[in-house]
Chains A and B, each alone.
Chain A
């Protein structure tokens, strides 16, 4: 043991991996750190993105360095000298592989520490997700074993670059072959969430991170590593007991890896956007995460998951003008509560198309609010933040613009506006929105008659119609008069018993 430790120490000092570290650091900064830090400070999205990007960053230099080390004895023409020592080949090579892997793991964990350290300073709630870190970390021994075996079995000066390129392409091609959530190829360590969804901000915040796929991936990577190392021992001379152990190890590793691939093939995306593998699934993971929402001090409080607390001020400021118009009225919501998104695979017409107040991911996953817009007693309105949907990070203005539409939807829902609504309901809805001094509301509802970005949201409000005139009229009333009228006539308005002419 002491000798093995000393050999590893020597190998650590003379390993090719440290030469790769500047390249890895540069690639990590360029392709992972900058990208991840541009994402919202949410542990879920950053952890998933870290896994996906870091594996790709590490694989080529790592496999290349391992292949270089694996081919060292042949390249340096020491094969005869070392092969006549009593230490069996696998026992001689294992410290070299271990040293390469240790360097890789140290480098990777350093990258994780930097990124998670920065996230810890920025994130408002939750903690680091370790499953994605574990999967990416387990991929490193697997790729060093792959590169090392290539170097040992096909030693030449070209083995390292060829292995590096091949490993990179294997990884990239493996993701190209993923179709839907029911794919064996999900076993590739690049996949953190459902591949069609990517590093989605709405996943693993309201519900726990499902370890089903990571468990299968860890099984695969462990089995793959053991198989390759077992193959090294198989081809090495040794005592009968050692050879039997090597056969056992190789077969066991292979069996575990194949089982893991089969398990990954049974995975499906669940309603929370994560891959569920029935054989590995723990029902306890389906329970929502408990949290105390952070709420605004507005007439109707806007309450968000604490992970999204950085969005609270902007969201509340956007919704407050319309919410204060209805606050205190009979049947008005007591609060606006952020809700979890619900995910469905293969239901979208096309990328980016809207579904209710949700949307479709670039790869066609439908993302909707997980429950009806309003419900409960006392009444609560539910809100899906734009930040929960896939897409580029939004500016405050962009987010406010998208949230404003949700505010309008809430007013419509409150007044009973919608398909088949009366002109009076349309007029009152438009008036409340105008009175809320929502930027653009006057222009879109009154001047042009329609919201160009969301046609159909205010049917009947075209210029010159009685409803349009009624809306202008009602909006011009003092807030207290508008509020008093609504308090007395809301029930009748909702059931369509108020005409446009009766709107003051």
Chain B
């Protein structure tokens, strides 16, 4: 059966479902903590609706409650989200043929989760000119879910005392590990993950989450260098596992 825009869209929705499950507790916690953290109701809603960047929203919220000034918060948001520059550069080849009215919403919806699902879909056969519909389905589902969870947290969160101490943030770690595992098929990929993880811990105390960027760059460099030296089986490195599909 040939893919159609609608079949691609719904496949994107379907295959993003596990990551939506992982994001639910995260969004609810954000909504729950927002007001006690010092954000007004509208600002909390605007964070999710306009900024739409989970980890940056949490970090900014933490800085608001610590009394940081807004220029510092914006600078930190920028650094934390620099990884998205790498994501959009990675996907550039796939969206090049699309008009701006597609590229703008697709860029807006480029979260960690959607990137992970979409980049794998582009790697998989069959080649299709309709995969941006899959991307749209994934981004739209993540977006709607995030708004809904923020709203639930804002309205019902305070009814459940202590919900922020349940450790629900672990859901994000679980999602991200689930995304990482299928990559760990070659030695360079493994080394990249190991090095960036270790440096992520070692450099954690650097200001403005700079450690995150440095650790990522080091991991990427190690993987790339190892791939260049001694591992001739490049095609193997290029295929992403089908793991986790549905």
Binding partners A and B: no
Residues of A within 8 A of B (CB): none
